[in-house]
Amino acid sequence: MAYSPINSLSSVSASRGLAADAQSLGALKLEAGTNSQSAIKETAKQFESLFMRELIKSMREATMKSGMLDSPGGDLGADLLDQQLAVHMSGQPGGLGDIIAAQLSQQMVPKNKDLTPPNVKAADNLHPQTRAVSAPSARSGAKAPTEIQTQFVQKHAQAAREVERKSGLPAGFMLGQAGHETGWGKHEIKRADGTASHNLFGIKAGAGWTGKTAEVTTTEYINGAPQKRVARFRAYDSYADAFKDYARMINESPRYAKAREQTGSAHAYASGLQKAGYATDPDYATKLSRAIDTTLAIQRVQV
């Protein structure tokens, strides 16, 4: 039987689908909706086939023709052969198709793949509020709030909201900074007799402070190097007083004017405080903005 490009091409189309065939591509699109690895691999082959076909076509057009034997039928046969050749050349190991498939795999996640991070699964025994906020935090790439963080925010939420109404400072920002300064309540400043200072923001007692004080050893960064120093901090009668004093300082002190204007962004606010000299830690803005983000995630669940 004489060789027929059309017959041969039909067999290729039936077995693998023709790269230039719109119907085949439509069927492939439907299969790709399953996000299966086989669909990704076949899609990559088809893209490679289309590329190879255009490459062969360009090479053929660049070849000088005599014009004596040219005809529409001959051009059609040549085009069909080019398509068949492109299909046969695609899908080779280590070829362009493998590169395309790798790119597609990164963008397409199988529907049946369990994306729940291990730490979220293990959170079933935690506080209900902690479990609720774990999933969205994990999807955003941030660590899920812990039970201690959630309980700290819940404990001081009312005081923070009351100060927010009077001062305009976001309660989430204040709670996040209080959490960062105290290690979410684990490292609160104590007075000499062991009683609580209620100082949640690490505000020092300067020369103008006439209230109670607490002296503790703290870490200060001198020229970027951490050093231990004994410092005097303000002490309050309640945590509510600590929030009020913090808001008063931020709103009334000229040094924090720029930070006060940037409460629309946790990172901008934290950077403003660091530039104003709120803390000597060179990474203070990064740590603080992360703590604020954690607090805001907890608040979104509690609303």
Catalytic residues: 220, 245
Q: Tell me how far apart the alpha carbons of residues 64 and 66 are, in angstroms, rounded to a whole number.
A: 7
Task: Extract the tokens encoding 282.
Answer: 């060179």
Q: Tell me how far apart the alpha carbons of residues 236 and 256 are, in angstroms, rounded to a whole number.
A: 22
Contact 227, 220 (CB under 8 A): yes
Contact 82, 19 (CB under 8 A): no
Q: Which residue has the tokens 């959630």?
A: 150
> Exposure of 210 by Cβ count < 10 A (0-12 exposed, 13-18 middle, 19+ buried)?
exposed
Q: Tell me how far apart the alpha carbons of residues 182 and 162 are, in angstroms, rounded to a whole number.
A: 21
Distances (CA, A) of 60 to 18, 64, 257: 20, 8, 70
Q: Which amino acid is at 122?
A: A
Distances (CA, A) of 227 to 19, 224, 230: 68, 9, 10
- Phi first, then psi, for residue 215 (nearest 5°) are -100, 125
- Three-class SS of residue 213? strand
Q: Which residue has the tokens 């606010």?
A: 269
Q: Tell me how far apart the alpha carbons of residues 111 and 115 are, in angstroms, rounded to a whole number.
A: 9
Q: Which amino acid is at 92?
A: Q
Q: Where are the beta strands (DSSP E) in the chain?
A: 213-222, 225-234
